[in-house]
Amino acid sequence: MIGRLKGILVNKQPPWILLDVQGVGYEVEVPLSTLFDLPANGQEATLLIHTVVREDAFLLYGFSREVERKLFRHLLKVTGVGAKLALGVLSGMNAEEFAGAIARNDIAALIRLPGVGRKTAERLVIEMRDRLAEGFFDGATLATAAGKMGDVVPLAGADQEAMSALEALGYKPAESQRMVKAVPGAETLPVEQIIRLALKPFAGKA
């Protein structure tokens, strides 16, 4: 199993990155929390890896912090939660924010995460509470989201890529559209900055 990769970052196409490790290109899927921590293309990056081996695929999931990888692995043990949903959780909240929501039984905050309905949120609270009772989650901050979804209209360029990245993580097209359109000057910004600003209203609220 691959547990860690260190190499040159070749390309970022959220939620995927391509990492060149001594001439071998590894495609790794990462949450947005990790994507924002990565350096520019052409620079060296190190990722902690969770490996999934299936009959038809060899999948790599990368994280910038051990706490993120640990949470990802815990999430995969929850009934009905797969890798896509786990990545969506880590893209909408960092590990500390998620733990805070679990500790407060905040179902409303959890169902704002991509792909998380009420039943899944309730299951997360029940199954994750004991697993997250660790010291490094003390003082976690809750992340919340607000706003209504609007109609979907075509976007172009970097804003369209940002919208596609949000959809790949589980946000619905109308919601992704609304989030990207709310970013001032999105048409002139790089993809990563658009995504970061689109998610900003989801963080730091009680």
List the chain domain ranges.
4-63, 66-146, 158-200
Thinking of the domain 66-146, which architecture would CATH place it in?
Orthogonal Bundle (1.10)
User: Residue 53 is encoded by which pair of tokens?
Assistant: 């081996």
- The continuous run of DSSP H or E covering 61 comes out as strand 58-63
Thinking of the domain 4-63, which architecture would CATH place it in?
Beta Barrel (2.40)
Which range has the top average pLDDT, 71-85, 140-154, 160-174? Answer: 71-85
Q: What is the pLDDT of residues 146-168, one digit of tens each?
A: 222 233 333 446 777 777 777 77
Per-residue pLDDT for 61 more than 50? yes
Q: What is the pLDDT of residues 7-57, one digit of tens each?
A: 999 999 888 999 999 999 999 999 988 988 899 999 999 999 999 988 888
